[in-house]
A and B are shown apart, each in its own frame.
Chain A
């Protein structure tokens, strides 16, 4: 898996790099390489994995879980890789987890499961982790099972801000695994503070020296906020005006590239002075270059989550719910957050982490304060027509 991710390879096996979560491949379209990576990790879960008896139903003590690479705590014990929280889950519940890491890219994973779900078949995974907007699509397509909250008493620990996104107001179908913030990153040795998207997109000093994300909701969400619109509730006119701002920035040559994860490298080398970035990546970049700063624009930043979802026809739905409940226990959530470095969506985890790693527990990019949360918005659900139109308009500029 480190092959796939040149940015994280130097530290593989040590700490995770936030970079890897978003996958270097994002947006590059190197499907083959990603597919190869998916296969590599299939056996990653547990030693006894795959003891499928052939009988189905929730009585089986089995859970097939698909996640992004390097998105769960691991530990090296005398040369072998162990999964502390995952293994504790197995011994606590007796549920055998086949933990795989085939998700490198929302769109790519969707392309893989789409034909199976469209044919109303079982994808062979009881739960997978996908980002808000993709979760929203799957909900619209009615390809997800409704979660049984009775099996997830710890659901109440979900932090308030994340409780009712418009695409799933009651969290009936989705539960965040980890969350993150999209904001502006800049190199303070090359430019002064860049605290607004207007500045980023129009400041002539930055011409040709910025990148924005290929991901529509990240980039457009920030532009909408900058124009005083609310990404959680905006009109078609507001969208049009935001698209016009992006088009103008592209036409003026301000935007050097529409990037996936590779902005991290451009920023580290000094080829760009500022960019739209994901918080987790920046924490990592700061280790090497303290000049790199991350700001949530004054007008606000975007909050996203990667959600645990249960697809239709999943064989072990109840086990997936048991798993969700386990990771919403603050003790387990704290242990996971300490390793992953993204925003922890579980209330109470901060207090738990403070007991063991007080410094990490104070990091606002892992545990934002209520004031920080107040600045963050979640992109609203789109109707089918909007989805088609907006995505096409955005891609016409990005490609």
Chain B
């Protein structure tokens, strides 16, 4: 707390006042920040450090005395080697997680943009009702909603029968990674769907993720679209721009903060989600969330689980940093 030298500091009483007020000013922001900082320190920084430490430790929760040992002299970088050889090279679970999440995010954006646009500009008195409908799925458990999809996509369901009879399944099944390609590229080894089934195929997992994260895309998009001053669009059309050009040059750029926020809120959790793959995915359709879950709970290999988590975190943070930088949306912050 260092008070700046104040003119007229010779007279005691007013100088005190000034000093106090200046001192308080420099101190206040930190005081206001402290609850948040403390929270982050305890619930983010400390766990992250523990996670990093665990990822370089050795030991197993199920063997020996059930504890882990960590030493600076013997950092277990091999955990990362195992993680890469198991989940990147031998079986492309890591790539698959990112690709599934990416496809789901693009699908979400495609579905949510027109939806948010309609709610923001065209819904009139239905606006609030529509917004409630967007949020409505949250009233039911995530797990139940995902389970419901396994009924909707059941082999004998109308949806799947329709897709089969119209030949859609044949086409989707044909979208696959050829057997001759190396293992680490086998993202869709058996096609996007089966010849006669959707459940327990990549498509089901991607649809599940898309469905579950749709509101996270819709709401930020709506929030940024809603703030747009319609007079700007009117001005564009007054200046002889077509409706499409007005959208491309005015509406869309102004909605970018929503697009960025929405894609981040969708992509980040989607890349680590284990539920959709566990319930809707096939035996060879596990994602990173499942791998971490299995290593942590079923094999008690906490160090490997931790290094997988760190790997996922680092890659996602890098991707996000590049993306946000490219999108250049200062307004987000």
Residues in chain A within 8 A of chain B (CB atoms): 3-4, 6, 24-25, 27-30, 33, 105, 107-108, 110-111, 114, 117-118, 137, 140-143, 208, 214, 216, 250, 253, 255-258, 260, 262, 265-266, 269-271, 384-385, 387-388, 391-392, 394-396, 398-399
Contact = CB atoms under 8 A, between A and B. Distances in A.
A271 B199 contact: yes
Interface stretch (B123-131, B233-241, B276-284): B276-284
A399 B93 contact: yes
Contacts of A24: 143
Interface string B236-279: 00000000000000000000000000000000000000110011
**Chain B binding surface, main DSSP class:** loop
Given A391-B300, A399-B294, A33 B67 contact: no
Nearest to A25: B143
B51 interface: no
B301 interface: yes
A28 B278 contact: yes
Given A108-B297, A384-B60, A269 B156 contact: yes
Contact of B143 (A30, A258, A385, A391): A30
Contact of B298 (A3, A4, A33, A395): A395
Contact of A391 (B62, B154, B286): B62
B141 interface: yes
Q: Name, among A30, A111, A398, the residue most crowded by chain B CB atoms within 10 Å (CB to CB).
A: A30
A141 B282 CA distance: 35
Contacts of B90: 396
A105 B62 CA distance: 16
Contacts of B286: 399
Contacts of A395: 294-295, 298-299
B76 to A, nearest CB: 15
A125 B279 CA distance: 33
A29 B293 contact: yes
**Chain A binding surface, main DSSP class:** helix
Given A255-B283, A398-B294, A262 B60 contact: no
Nearest to A138: B66
Contact of A143 (B60, B66, B194, B278): B66
Contact of B297 (A4, A6, A111, A256): A111
Contacts of A256: 200, 282-283
Contact of B296 (A111, A141, A208, A257): A111
B290 interface: yes
Given A3-B141, A6-B147, A25-B143, A257 B64 contact: no
Contacts of A253: 190
Given A111-B296, A257-B200, A270 B156 contact: yes
A214 B291 CA distance: 13
B318 interface: no
B17 interface: no
B278 A29 contact: yes
Interface in B58-75: 60-67
B25 interface: no
B122 interface: no
Contact of A388 (B60, B151, B275): B60
Contacts of B200: 256-257, 271
A255 B63 CA distance: 30
Contact of B274 (A6, A29, A143, A271): A29
A141 B200 CA distance: 38
A143 B63 CA distance: 12
Contacts of A6: 143-144, 147
A399 B290 contact: yes
Contacts of B143: 4, 6, 24-25, 28, 30, 33
B197 interface: yes
B297 A107 contact: yes
B66 to A, nearest CB: 5
Given A257-B283, A395-B294, A28 B62 contact: no
Contact of A214 (B67, B281, B298): B298
B60 A271 contact: no
Contacts of A384: 60, 62-64
B75 to A, nearest CB: 20
A265 B291 CA distance: 24
A269 B154 contact: yes
Given A118-B67, A270-B155, A27 B278 contact: yes
B105 interface: no
Contacts of A270: 154-156
B77 interface: no
Contacts of A260: 278
